[in-house]
Structure 1
Amino acid sequence: MPSKSLTVELRNLFIDRFSDDELADLAFALGMNIKDLGEDTTKGKARELAAYVVRHEWVAKLIAEVGPKERPEIEWQALLTEHVSRELLSDDDRSRLVDILANNYDMQMGPSARYGLMDRAGLRERLKFIDLAGAPLSLAYSIVSDLEPLGILPGQPSFHALGALINYILQLPDTTTDDARILAELLVKYQLISDPAYLDGLTTTYSIDVTPVRHIDPSLLPPPVTAKDLARLSTEAPAVIKDESPVSKVLIRSSEDNLLDIDLLAGAIYSAQAVGRIELPRGRAHGTGFLVGPDLLLTAYHVLKSKDMLESAVIRFDYQANADGVVTQGRVFELMPDFYVGSPDTELDFALVRVKGEPLAERRMRSEDEGQNYLELLRRGRHRGYLLVSPSKIVEFERINIIQHPNGGPQKAMMTENYVLNDMKGNRVHYLAITQPGSAGSPVLNRRWEVVALHHSGGAHPPLKDSADTQKLEMYRFGEGIPMRAILPKIEKWLPRS
């Protein structure tokens, strides 16, 4: 937790460097009204504002976002370094967390993969203070030490900075059961997520028996659904569907809850902005591709087999149909003819090329957009500029989504009732999915809308050798993709690091 000296230092800073109007502007930027502090004098306002920031764990919000924007000449980061205690975790808990983080798959790779890990956890803004080079163990200690004192994340009021990273790693399929239990225990013990129901779920799932040593600020808690609420709602009559009706057969066969969180739908629209139709030549559909950097496009090798094709090929973004079926023209970008990295279709079947210009530059996220959910980014008209790539293991029954241009037509998103049929094997993964010619080169995305594979074929290519898996797959109309875990080492050095 921040030390008392930080409160004093902030109070003195506010008195010395801010007028009454500037204090009011700073409070407004933090999301509050200075009048609510109940003070009339400058000193009183400065004292209560400083205390409020520290008490509500808005240190990260002030130092990383609001402060530099309102008063960029002040050395905000120096305040954090000098005055914040780093003793949130016990020594044993810190050591356990550092070991788990150091052994994470991304941490074992190079700086770009480590950058991707932090970015996917919503912590990209902290990377300006962390050197991603070096041994995994020492880097893991630096990351934990940097995040530990920060408090609530700007843009993610439900997460302590450390909680965002721990919760992300907890959800990765690569995380072992033993490590997952340790991570869940840390979240519960230190109350690093401001959602009691979620923490209760972790407690039950992992049979956790710890007493919290930290308490959540009540002002950050979401509204609960109480037993009285459930009792009242249960009086509403549910829809009745007769067993023999055609609808009941569909519902019985359905294996996934079709009540989707709105952020999942927003994620589809957000992600679709970075997916386009590849044409060769312009106007003739040839496949699908997606941005993995501001100007880097990934597609299947058999869509763009050589550098010679780049002179004639283009990528068309925003090629979509509205609810009436009216199709938009979209935006066309040419490809750079002098950059090409690829692997044949019998191997990894990928081609990495460069776009002339940055297709999503006008929507580029700003520092204040970091950590926002997909729905909020859509409201703001913001985008990272590319899709995040995840090298996490892909496991049986994992749900996946594919954004594609089937048959070369307007963009479609395949969501719900699509899942992985078996654990990824080397450089191939198979999934229950409907794709068409023209879908090759599409991103295969997980529930967080991270790219986990590159779709390259409806069916297996090359053909699978006879095995128990082959017999299982023959029961389905399945798609085949190349896991990003296999592709990433080949392209990592070109991916964004800032």
Structure 2
Amino acid sequence: MQVKNCDCRLCDFWGGERRAGGHPVDVHWDQPERLKVRRGLIPEGDETAFERIMGTSDIFPINFLSRGMNAAKAVCKVQLYRGGQIPAGAGSGFLVAPNLLLTNNHVVRSRNMAGMAKVIFDYAITDDFSLGHTKVFTVTEDVFFTSPGDELDYSFVSIEPSNNESAQLSDFGFLKLMAQSGKAVKGEPVSIIHHPNGGLKSLSLRNSRILTTQGDFITYTSDTEPGSSGAPVLNDQWLPVALHHRSVPHASIRNRWVANRGIRISSILSHLQLHATKGNTDALRIVGLLNL
């Protein structure tokens, strides 16, 4: 699927297998060595975690909810503008280090485009279903590194540490990126925290499984909408395993979509480190910020 430049509203066209009337995909368990790595990432206190991964239990420790809410703080809406004032599409993104955001290249394609974007945190409903007080921060041109949309389709951009209302970006924390492969395996449920259609922050929770983990990408069946581009794909420990970026079209039926696809975090970090070793200044700075 070719992604139109600068128009995040056209991204992520996905009806999903359930919406499009597709048939379930036969999921085979991943390689034993990947399952071993995955088991090693489970906290000692989570006694049913591996059973949930294997699909034999649906029992969670109660802190699953609070940990998810804490992870959601770092996810924001990325609003693009033309001429500084006219809205020109929106995507999602998430903080991965102090003052550093990860999103898609097709959301923020260039350093110049970064300077015309804002990020909006707490754009969500509260417990009483009222709209919370949003905090808007400026995207800066200070740090920027990207991979084109037809390659790994990611962009790291820097964010101002405070806004004109004295809100602090540090209050939202960040989702730590791990270079290790094996953070999720085939058949494992995943969740996505995103801003579908550029709207309120939402959660596609576990009603999804990883279909493939080939090469630089994973495919999965989570529900997304336009505006979900740039959202984190998360395992049950709320660790980012991929960066959501597009849908997978049916092989022979037009306008039918059979899955979603994300770029593996391990592939993004490997690509970033490669360019850092080649002397790219921004890549070097980001590697330092991520403590890789």
Q: 1:56-455 to 2 correspondence within 5 Å?
A: 174-175=33-34, 258-281=58-81, 284=87, 285-323=89-127, 325-357=129-161, 359-361=168-170, 363=171, 385-391=173-179, 392-393=181-182, 394-422=184-212, 424-455=213-244
Cα shift at 1:291: 0.5
Instruction: Tell me which amino acid in the other structure corresponds to 2:77.
Output: R
Name the Cα RMSD after superposition. 3.5
The unaligned stretches of length 5 or more in structure 2 are: 1-30, 163-167, 274-286
TM-score, length-scaled by structure 1: 0.41
Cα shift at 1:339: 2.3
Residues 347/409 of structure 1: CA separation in 2 closer, same or farther (3 Å cut): same
Cα-to-partner distance string for 1:444-464 (whole Å, 9 max, x where unaligned)? 11111111100001325xx8x
Cα shift at 1:175: 5.0
Match of 1:94 in 2: none
Match of 1:491 in 2: 272
Q: How many residues align?
A: 231
In the alignment, is residue 482 of structure 1 matched against residue 263 of structure 2? Answer: yes
Cα-to-partner distance string for 1:291-320 (whole Å, 9 max, x where unaligned)? 111111000000011111122101011110
Q: Greater CA radius of gyration, 1 or 2?
A: 1
Q: In the aligned structure 2, how far is the partner of 1:173 from the partner of 1:296?
A: 35
Q: In the aligned structure 2, how far is the partner of 1:173 from the partner of 1:448?
A: 20
Cα shift at 1:176: 6.7
Structure number with greater CO (CA < 8 Å, separation at least 6) is: 2
Q: 1:2-81 to 2 correspondence within 5 Å?
A: none
Matched residue of 1:280: which SS?
A: strand
Cα-to-partner distance string for 1:51-89 (whole Å, 9 max, x where unaligned)? xxxxxxxxxxxxxxxxxxxxxxxxxxxxxxxxxxxxxxx
Cα-to-partner distance string for 1:377-436 (whole Å, 9 max, x where unaligned)? xxxxxx7x21011342342111211100001111011112211012x1111210011000
Residues 352/257 of structure 1: CA separation in 2 closer, same or farther (3 Å cut): same
Matched residue of 1:389: which SS?
A: coil
TM-score, length-scaled by structure 2: 0.68
Matched residue of 2:248: which SS?
A: coil
Matched residue of 1:339: which SS?
A: strand
Over the matched positions of the two proteins, sequence identity in percent amounts to 31
Instruction: Tell me which amino acid in the other structure corresponds to 2:242.
Output: A
- More helix by percentage: 1
Residues 354/396 of structure 1: CA separation in 2 closer, same or farther (3 Å cut): same
The unaligned stretches of length 5 or more in structure 1 are: 1-171, 184-192, 206-254, 364-382
Instruction: Tell me which amino acid in the other structure corresponds to 2:106.
Output: H
Instruction: Tell me which amino acid in the other structure corresponds to 2:208.
Output: N
Q: In the aligned structure 1, how far is the partner of 2:241 from the partner of 2:202?
A: 18
Q: In the aligned structure 2, how far is the partner of 1:283 from the partner of 1:263?
A: 41
Matched residue of 1:402: which SS?
A: strand
Structure 1 contact 310–335 (Cα < 8 Å) conserved: yes
